[in-house]
Amino acid sequence: MSSTPRQRNPVGGHVPVAGGLAAVGVSHADAIGAEAVQVFVANPRGWATPPGDPEQSEAFRAACTERGMPAFVHAPYLINVGSHTAETAAGSVRSLRHSLRRGRAIGARGVVVHTGSATGGRPRRVALDQVRELMLPLLDELTHEDDPWLLLEPTAGQGASLCSRMEELAEYFEVLERHPRLGVCLDTCHVFAAGHDLAAPGGVKETLDALEAAVGPGRLRLVHANDSRDVAGARKDRHANIGRGHIGEEPFADLMTHPATEGVPLVIETPGRTEGHAADVALLKRLRDGPD
């Protein structure tokens, strides 16, 4: 009796959308050979919450469906639900709610948000209590079958990070009551920078085993596949092209064989635009599929 074949990992990239989600985003995805795509639906470094163009949203959704190409939204970088500043905390909630609603409109599977930091010297527990207070209501709004998952992305560990290592991710999940719409986006550069040495023998397995132990199976919904310009544990978020940093090629091949990543899309956020991204996507496909 033959075993069921492993679901392969769709490989793609974060694409620009200035000029239109469908008009620009889909054409760029096609140009780099993407099988999965990630987009911004607002200025990543601002608080604006644009309504979006319904025609472009529907065209983007239809194009992704036609290609069998899973889509994801990355929420703005300014979001920090653990901030000590009331204005920042309130803006973070508005911005994240906007990303979730726009994610639903374009058919996104998930919305990625950075896990934030305890600013202003406040105790970590105080910041986490605020995360609970502000984020649980947003999660409880995700009641429609078309609503995206909220995907927590641990950071590289810089500053007063609330979540960079797997044990901290477990605590974050507990604070949010392991909500059924809560998932994880694992950034390989971030976890490497935080001290999970993916390049060490067995490092990928150890890290992914720790992830599943922290949050349970089925919670990993997206991988940001990025090499690192800095060594493991450096706590620096500096991406490199696949195979050109301190992680190297082989760990990415190992990542795509671990049970936790079966069928999980990989999206690159590496340097370069069309040429560099196309090369990274092609390399990840070769590592996934093996030599011709």
At 1 the pLDDT is: 46
With b for 16 or more beta-carbon neighbours within 10 A and e for fewer, the 168-202 pattern comes to bbbebbebbeebebbbbbbbbbbbbbbebbbbeee
User: d(Cα 252, Cα 262) in Å, to the nearest integer?
Assistant: 13
Between CA 131 and CA 264 the distance in angstroms is: 27
pLDDT of residue 292: 61
pLDDT 10s digits, 56-101: 999 999 999 999 999 999 999 999 999 999 999 999 999 999 999 9
What is the per-residue pLDDT for 147? Answer: 97
Q: Coil, helix or strand for 150? A: strand
The number of folded domains in the chain is 1
Query: Residue 33 — very low, low, confident or very high, per pLDDT cuts 50/70/90?
Result: very high
Mean pLDDT (whole number) for 235-250 = 97
Per the structure block, which two tokens stand in for 241? 């092209």
pLDDT band at 274 (very low <50, low <70, confident <90, very high): confident
Q: Is residue 3 part of a domain?
A: no
Asked if residue 182 belongs to a domain, the reply is: yes
Q: Is residue 192 part of a domain?
A: yes
Domain membership of residue 2 (yes or no) is: no
Query: What is the rounded distance in angstroms from the CA atom of residue 266 to the CA atom of residue 226?
Result: 10
Give the pLDDT confidence score for residue 227 in this predicted structure.
98
Give per-residue pLDDT as tens, 116-164: 999 999 999 999 999 999 999 999 999 999 999 999 999 999 999 999 9
With respect to residue 1, please indicate whether it lies within any of the assigned structural domains: no
Does a structural domain hold residue 6? no
pLDDT of residue 275: 87
Amino acid 4: pLDDT: 84
139 found inside a domain? yes
Residue 54 lies in a domain: yes
> For residue 232, what is the domain's CATH number?
3.20.20.150
User: In which domain, by residue range, is 218 found?
Assistant: 11-289
Looking from the CA of 111 toward its CB, the CA atoms found within 13 Å total 28
Residue 238 CA to residue 126 CA, distance in Å, equals 29
